[in-house]
Amino acid sequence: MPIDLNCDMGEGYGRYHVGNDEGIMPYISSANIACGFHAGDPQVMRRTVQLAKLHGVAIGAHPGLPDLAGFGRREMELSADQLYADTVYQIGALNGFCLAENVRMSHVKPHGALYHMVNRDRELACALVEAVIAIDRELVIYTLPQGELVQAAQAANLRVAREFFADRAYQADGTLVARTHPQAMIKDAASAAARVVNMLAGQRVVTVTGEEIDMQAETVCIHGDERQAVLFARSIRTELERLGVVVSACERT
């Protein structure tokens, strides 16, 4: 079956450069582009959209919390109304650059702490879904296979791409291990590629505590800000193609 390979990108801003988007882009099928809150700025957004277009990579909005200093990885208190407005603002900003480059946005994936908040809190999940619908209800929502966001999106008849993280460890309940945990990140590219292959073959993943849990996904994520992100992207793509797995973006509805 085909599988999407996505990566978080465009996460520099101003004079700060984060990740190697140019090196990663040839190996992925979808790019989640920061929209200016947790990272990114208008120039970075424009360049990243242009780079994705050049490589034929699907473009998605990667909205986050307004927390540049914490890279959007610190939870914040916000109302559903605030989340709705912030999400419309961010998706709309990236969509403007897509329109300017004559490409269509394909998906939305919340970033960092927001990703986890909308999977725990139904009201926030619904606010994010409503924001997506306000911009374009054909957009695909990338999220965990289980949680409030997938339920809210499906209830609104939006397409969902269930996501597996190649470079992150899992807990027994299917959520990601906190980044403060020493085993939160998978450090070896070959191990990450093997995890993806095993997940696709058996729809299972081994947790940080050794249990096997169900894991079904249409898209696989790597983090572009990690030091070995290019190696991870290349290793996973190479292994998938060696096994005859088609790497392609999740199509809009």
Q: What is the pLDDT of residue 224?
A: 86
Q: What is the pLDDT of residue 181?
A: 87
Q: What is the pLDDT of residue 183?
A: 82
Closest CA to 105 of 43, 57, 65: 57
Whether residue 253 lies inside any domain: the answer is: no
Tell me the residue range of the domain where 156 lies: 4-242
- 144's CB contacts (< 8 A; 6+ apart) are 115, 119, 150, 162, 163, 174, 175
Separation between Cα atoms, residue 98 and residue 107, nearest integer Å: 12
Listed as ranges, residues in the chain with pLDDT below 50 are none
Prediction pTM value: 0.95
Q: Side-chain half-sphere of 64: how many Cα atoms within 13 Å?
A: 28
Whether residue 42 lies inside any domain: the answer is: yes
Whether residue 251 lies inside any domain: the answer is: no
Separation between Cα atoms, residue 249 and residue 234, nearest integer Å: 16
What's the domain count of the chain? Answer: 1
Q: What is the pLDDT of residue 185?
A: 85
Q: What is the pLDDT of residue 225?
A: 84
Q: Two tokens at 29? A: 């099928």
Secondary structure (3-state) at 176: strand
- 210's CB contacts (< 8 A; 6+ apart) are none
**What's the Cα-to-Cα distance from 63 to each of 53, 134, 141, rounded to whole Å?**
20, 15, 12
Q: Tell me the pLDDT tens digit for each residue of 30-50.
A: 999 999 999 999 999 999 999
The H or E element containing residue 65 is none
Q: What is the pLDDT of residue 84?
A: 98
Q: What is the pLDDT of residue 182?
A: 80
Cβ(11)–Cβ(253) below 8 Å: no
The CATH number of the domain holding residue 91 is 3.20.20.370
Whether residue 108 lies inside any domain: the answer is: yes
Whether residue 250 lies inside any domain: the answer is: no
Q: What is the pLDDT of residue 210?
A: 87
Whether residue 252 lies inside any domain: the answer is: no
Whether residue 50 lies inside any domain: the answer is: yes
Separation between Cα atoms, residue 139 and residue 125, nearest integer Å: 15
